[in-house]
Chain A
Amino acid sequence: MPSPEQWTHPEPGEGPAAQAAQPSREQVIAGLRNTDAGGAEVTQLLTPEGERIASPQFDRYISDVDPEALRGLYRDMVLVRRADREANAMQRQGQLGIWVPLLGQEAAQVGSGRALKPQDMAFPSYREHGVAYTRGVDFKELLGIFRCTDHGGWDFKAHGFHPYTIVIGNQVLNAAGYAMGQKFEGRVGNTDGDGNPSSTDEATIVYFGDGATSQGDVHEGFVWAAVYDAPLVFFCQNNQWAISEPTERQSRLPLYQRARGYGFPGIRVDGNDVLACLAVTRWALEECRHGNGPVLIEAFTYRMDAHTTTDDPTRYRLSDELEVWKHKDPIERVRVHLARSGFADQAWFDQVQAEADAFAADLREFCFNMPEPPPERVFANVYAEPSPVLDAQRDEYLSYLAGFVEAGER
């Protein structure tokens, strides 16, 4: 792996055309700074080379992760990545209107998602396909959003997975309110005979990006959760970029350190380390279940693809940066660890890959055959209670449409 000093980047003054095509000096600096592993303060349990690091604080939170469970986490990440790549390709083929890739964020999402219990609630942003998968939401149910047939109609209660939220930061306040409700209903701070959280105690987790931390709603969410001791885990996936804006555009301080100002713990975890994400999130959720109030987790990770399929990251970031992060791939380190420890052999890896291919093929077939919603859906469910005004608008429009059918035009 090259050290930062060995990277080449353009010097100013190479000619206006060359300069225009190159990222600015500030962006170069921002990019280089961010490819730092997250600083000494980052919690890591599995190195990029696949070595397990002991942690006196967090090992106990993954004591149940035996080789089989570890293989399970690996399989989760491979399936999620494969489905993400398939969806990305389908967008390129015009089958999806847009796709929001999660490439590189599999460990942050699978690790944190697998830390949740069925009774917990997750409030996602719009990139949390991996979390959705861990909550039992079928990947197919996500596709409608991106094929633009619906806004996401999964059963949020059954899955403990709230609808996607596109307005940056809104979901953080909604999650704070939900978590306050859990607390008001007495679902935190109950213990069994041994002083452990009771099996019915609940917590909420909310996902947002580094860019989102600049939004007022996120700040207000921190304030509300803190003053009401809401059982809320703030899970910030710092993937280094908010579209083209680097984290330096959002904060002068490492994001996890902000928690201190609100009076609750903040912790930075290696977001490419599925074990660390699992352990740290379990710890944070347990804090919540005990009634100790919120925790901020900054998962230090990297978006290895465009922001969305409409984005062109070559305009703002260095390819060197991507190359560095490829060495920290969240899936590869688990594969190396499984192989070196003798927990999995090539045949097993091949089998997971075949399973992932089948998963993707199934997704593709579903996508191609997704029915178009009928026009009356435009009018459906605007209100919980019947709306005669809308019913009349719908009926009038449908009979207008029927006129074309009679005229043989439709």
Chain B
Amino acid sequence: MENFEPKIIGFLCNWCSYAGADLAGVSRLQYPANLRVVRVMCSGRVDPTFVFKALDGGADGVLIAGCHPGDCHYSDGNYNTMKRYPLMLQVLEQMGVDKRRVRLEWISAAEGPQFASIVNEFTEQIRQLGPFKKGERTERGAEVG
């Protein structure tokens, strides 16, 4: 466990969060290299299938980041993400996945420092949770029936 380096997949929206990550980079802010970034046009494009597939394929955590509500380049995409996120968490719990492994954040193009601190914090959280083992038992996964 001590040498555990979490694998985290980050789906970042092209217009805000990816630019925020870029700003963190050009500002030379330090954050862990555990995040593997996938640039998507909009957080609304992040089908829950992507998240499930990432976890199924060996990720320990998934970060979805998009524009702040009201700022979406496609006006509504991030609202769709916001609305299905709690439903996705419920299903994850029932499937026996700790919902702390999947996180949604709004990060604007100007928020380089926020991006770095979110990645720091989330990486630390996943480190605490340990490697994602299929079949980890959650309250909901064991209770529903």
A and B: bona fide binding partners: no
Which B residues contact A (CB, under 8 angstroms)?
Answer: none
Which A residues contact B (CB, under 8 angstroms)?
Answer: none
